[in-house]
Structure 1
Amino acid sequence: MKTLGAATTTSSGVVAMTFCVLIFLQLCTGGEAAVVKRFTGLYTGPYFDPTTTTNITTQLGTHAYLPCKVKQLGNKSVSWIRRRDAHILTVDRFTFIADDRFQAFLVDSTDTWTLQVKYVQPRDAGQYECQVSTEPKMSHFITLNVVVPKIEILGESEIYVKTGSTVSLKCVITQSLEEPAYIFWYHDGNRVLEFDRSLININMEPVGTDTTVSTLVIFHAHPEDNGNYTCSPSNLDSASVVLHVLNGEYPAAMQRGKNSASPIPGWSHLSMGLGLAACTPPRFAFAVALSLAILSQLLAT
């Protein structure tokens, strides 16, 4: 009976031990499967999100943001490099260029390292490389396009009006990605303010999707309104025009126009003399023409 009891106890122990071993193996197998599933997928290390953009377009004077989404980065570093001169701009959060317009930061929730370029300039256009410090190196390229809006004041560069006239200056901004935050007008360097709307009015309005017009109206212009008027939008270049407020008649130079050619001294007299050839002997006509030309030159001096 003792032998049977011992055998029964031994058998129960073996079953219990076998059960524990099976559970242990199952747990180990499951854990191993989880590890294998984590590291033997499509990517075994860092990789770029395939949906990350390769082109960014921004407007002159605004801020540009170049995203680089890296999955499973681990302990690797992310660098931004400017392709046109191979200059390293940033490594992780550290900036390696003496231009504080460049900065990189990480958005943890999206695994995105973003390069910020403040107050974009035309020379910032080009290709940028987001590089991960693997072996070999991994790179994602983004092209930055800079749009430069056009700005002009309609009409001639110099405007002539009579005293008491109403002057309307239109500043037109085209090819703009976004409407300017403001458009200021300056008269000889001093900002034009609308203290009295019966004298001056300034209006700004969008026209279409990429055009903005600012209008400066001067009522009852006076000689003190003479001078340079400049249209200056936010974050853009400016445009200027010169206003002349005249008393009395328009000057002859303005009536002729700025592109009119001045007559050559003596040429009209020479032409008149040569016209005599139609009704006088050639030698006489030539002598008269030459005499008139010489006389006009002497009078001019």
Structure 2
Amino acid sequence: MMLANVIFIFMWIFHSWDVGVLCADLPETVLSTEQIHHHIKRFSGLYTGPYFDPATTTNITTQLGTHAYLPCKVKQLGNKSVSWIRRRDAHILTVDRYTFIADDRFQAFLVEATDTWTLQIKYVQARDGGQYECQVSTEPKMSHFITLNVVVPKVEILGEADIYVKAGSTVHLKCVITQSLEEPAYIFWYHDGARVLDYVRTEIDIKTERVGSDTTVGTLTIYEAQRKNSGNFTCQPSNLDSASVLLHVLNGEHPAAMQRGKNSASPIPGRWWGPLSAGLGLSACLRPRTAAAAVLVIGIAGHILFT
């Protein structure tokens, strides 16, 4: 029995990854079973199976339209599998590197250097927000939960929905994007559905500027505006909603005239108003049929007198 213990101890020593440290602790006599277990526990850690790294985050915040990465650090995984599950509908998204949802925006990959299984969600949508479960196939199952917060930036063009300017003036259309964690890759401008591309610098200028930590301003400047510049202008940031305004370039017209248009009702001429109001006043004292006839007669009389 003593010989068997000695052989076991020597085999364990030569297979140890830190022989020097172990040998320094060895007594001259044979180690007991309790001492052997102490050294095994010392070098293998407190966990004998898979466990989640306690430093793994539980909250991820990302912006609408960008890519989200949800990390799950699993130590000593061994031959166990890692699954990602969407909590709102209990849908299994991935198992190891295999995807089990008909949405190619989702995929999982392993970063071996950090023992991290990461769920990637491309082009995040508002409905992707919520809780996700990283599950290890132990018995019972082990789970780590991460909440994804989706920030939706606000896009607007400063000013009224209809902008009126005089011909020959300089127009500045400012597209302001707020609550934006990341600066958009681009801001495209459209005039009546056509992208503003081939423009002369002396007539139109486009600039984009980051203001503060969460705001981007795109400016479209029109020098010496002309009637041809009238129409719908839309700013379209990358992966975000758009905003639009109607620009009216006036050649001396009053804005109210343009707002009324051809289909608006014209005011009643002043010369008609006296006889008509008299007929309407008289009708209040008569029976309905008689009142209608009175209004008609007085109206015709007014027409004859004032034409």
Q: TM-score range by the shorter chain?
A: 0.7 to 0.9
1:142 matched to 2:146? The reply is yes
1:165 matched to 2:169? The reply is yes
1:216 matched to 2:220? The reply is yes
Alignment correspondent of 2:58: 54
1:80 matched to 2:84? The reply is yes
Letter in 2 for 1:96: F
* Equivalent residue for 1:199, pick from 200, 203, 207: 203
Query: 1:34 and 1:265, CA in 2 relative to 1: closer, same or farther beyond 3 A?
Result: farther
Q: CA RMSD in A?
A: 3.7
Letter in 1 for 2:245: V
Alignment correspondent of 1:129: 133
Alignment correspondent of 2:19: none
Deviation at 1:188, TM superposition (A): 1.7
Query: 1:43 and 1:241, CA in 2 relative to 1: closer, same or farther beyond 3 A?
Result: same
Deviation at 1:166, TM superposition (A): 1.6
In the alignment, the residues of structure 1 paired with residue 78 and residue 206 of structure 2 have an alpha-carbon distance, to the nearest angstrom, of: 57
Letter in 1 for 2:164: Y
Query: 1:24 and 1:283, CA in 2 relative to 1: closer, same or farther beyond 3 A?
Result: closer
Task: Provide the TM-score with structure 2 as the length reference.
Answer: 0.75
Task: Provide the TM-score with structure 1 as the length reference.
Answer: 0.76
Alignment correspondent of 1:92: 96
Q: Output one character per residue of 1:182-223: Cα deviation in whole Å (capped at 9) or x when no partner.
A: 111111222213642110011111222111111111111122
In the alignment, the residues of structure 2 paired with residue 63 and residue 242 of structure 1 have an alpha-carbon distance, to the nearest angstrom, of: 34
Q: Output one character per residue of 1:7-37: Cα deviation in whole Å (capped at 9) or x when no partner.
A: xxxxxxxxxxx9x888646525587665454
Alignment correspondent of 2:234: 230
In the alignment, the residues of structure 1 paired with residue 254 and residue 43 of structure 2 have an alpha-carbon distance, to the nearest angstrom, of: 86
Q: Secondary structure at the match of 2:57?
A: coil
Contact 2:164 2:255 in 1 (8 A): no
Deviating more after overlay: 215-224 vs 189-198: 189-198
Deviation at 1:171, TM superposition (A): 0.6
Instruction: Pick the structure with greater CA Rg.
Output: 1
In the alignment, the residues of structure 1 paired with residue 8 and residue 109 of structure 2 have an alpha-carbon distance, to the nearest angstrom, of: 45
Contact 1:61 1:120 in 2 (8 A): yes
Contact 1:129 1:141 in 2 (8 A): yes
Contact 1:125 1:146 in 2 (8 A): yes
Q: Secondary structure at the match of 1:98?
A: coil
Q: Secondary structure at the match of 1:252?
A: helix
In the alignment, the residues of structure 1 paired with residue 69 and residue 299 of structure 2 have an alpha-carbon distance, to the nearest angstrom, of: 74
Q: Output one character per residue of 1:159-198: Cα deviation in whole Å (capped at 9) or x when no partner.
A: 2223222211111111111111211111122221364211
* Equivalent residue for 1:188, pick from 173, 192, 196: 192
Which consecutive residues of structure 2, in runs of 5 or more, have no partner in the other structure? 13-30
Q: Output one character per residue of 1:99-156: Cα deviation in whole Å (capped at 9) or x when no partner.
A: 0000000000100000000000000000000000000000000000000000001111
Deviation at 1:248, TM superposition (A): 2.9
Which consecutive residues of structure 1, in runs of 5 or more, have no partner in the other structure? 1-17
Query: 1:22 and 1:231, CA in 2 relative to 1: closer, same or farther beyond 3 A?
Result: closer
Q: Secondary structure at the match of 1:224?
A: helix
Letter in 2 for 1:121: Q
Contact 1:58 1:177 in 2 (8 A): yes
Query: 1:22 and 1:141, CA in 2 relative to 1: closer, same or farther beyond 3 A?
Result: closer
Deviation at 1:251, TM superposition (A): 4.6
Alignment correspondent of 2:67: 63
Deviating more after overlay: 194-203 vs 152-161: 194-203
Letter in 1 for 2:111: V
Alignment correspondent of 1:5: none
Structure 1 vs Structure 2: percent identity of aligned residues? 70
Alignment correspondent of 2:17: none
